[in-house]
Amino acid sequence: MIRGLVAALAAALLAVSAAAAGEESPTLAELEKEVICPTCHTTLALSTSPIAARMRAFITERIAAGDTKSEIKAKLVDEFGEGVLAAPPASGFNLLAWALPIGGALVALLAVGLLAGRWARSRPAAPASAGAGALDPELERRLDEELARFEA
């Protein structure tokens, strides 16, 4: 158990260091997935518009100058507005964009659970007079005849 905990901790530390490395030395490919073209409203990775080409050139220039991912995004937001970001920042009113889908999924799971429980309780119980394996006597006689004919 301790080995598993140590392995999980090491994996978490590696993930954090990789994320920090991406912040300090971003690549064009990373930023192309996180920035949207203002004319065609797709990510820069998919856009072929002239403004997207200019934005790629700007990002490449800023990466060469040593800017971090946050600094480059901030400069793009200053020029084009927050709509240029593929994911809204998780602060202020934009926090709703992150909270509503999660809240909606939780409400849906709760509703399905409650409805399933209600459905399971509302099913009619088996008749108490008949045993679990009891058949109608006439049906049982016919079944015995058919089985006897099949076995012969």
Q: What is the pLDDT of residue 98?
A: 77
User: pLDDT band at residue 122, thresholds of 50, 70 and 90?
Assistant: confident
Q: Classify residue 63: in a domain, yes or no.
A: yes
SS (H, E, C) 10-72: HHHHHHHHHHHHHHHCCCHHHHHHHEECCCCCCECCCCCCHHHHHHHHHHHHHHHHCCCHHHH
The top-scoring range by mean pLDDT among 103-112, 114-123, 124-133, 139-148 is 103-112
Residue 6 confidence (pLDDT) above 80: no
Phi-psi region of 68 (alpha: psi -120 to 50; beta: other; left: phi over 0): beta
Q: What is the mean pLDDT of residues 54-64?
A: 93
- Can you tell me the distance from the alpha carbon of 77 to that of 119, in angstroms, rounded to the nearest whole number? 51
Q: Classify residue 113: in a domain, yes or no.
A: no
More confident residue, 131 or 39: 39
Q: State the Cα angle at 109 between 104 and 114, rounded to 5°.
A: 125
Q: Classify residue 30: in a domain, yes or no.
A: yes
Q: What is the pLDDT of residue 7?
A: 61
Say which DSSP state 80 is in.
H
Q: Classify residue 130: in a domain, yes or no.
A: no
Domain count, the chain: 1
Q: Classify residue 74: in a domain, yes or no.
A: yes
Q: Classify residue 139: in a domain, yes or no.
A: no
Give me the CATH number covering residue 85.
1.10.8.640
Q: What is the mean pLDDT of residues 66-77?
A: 91
Q: Classify residue 104: in a domain, yes or no.
A: no
Q: What is the pLDDT of residue 4?
A: 61
Q: Residues 127-148: pLDDT tens digits?
A: 555 555 677 889 889 988 999 9
User: pLDDT band at residue 108, thresholds of 50, 70 and 90?
Assistant: very high
Q: What is the mean pLDDT of residues 102-112?
A: 94
Domain extent at residue 41: 22-94
Q: Classify residue 128: in a domain, yes or no.
A: no
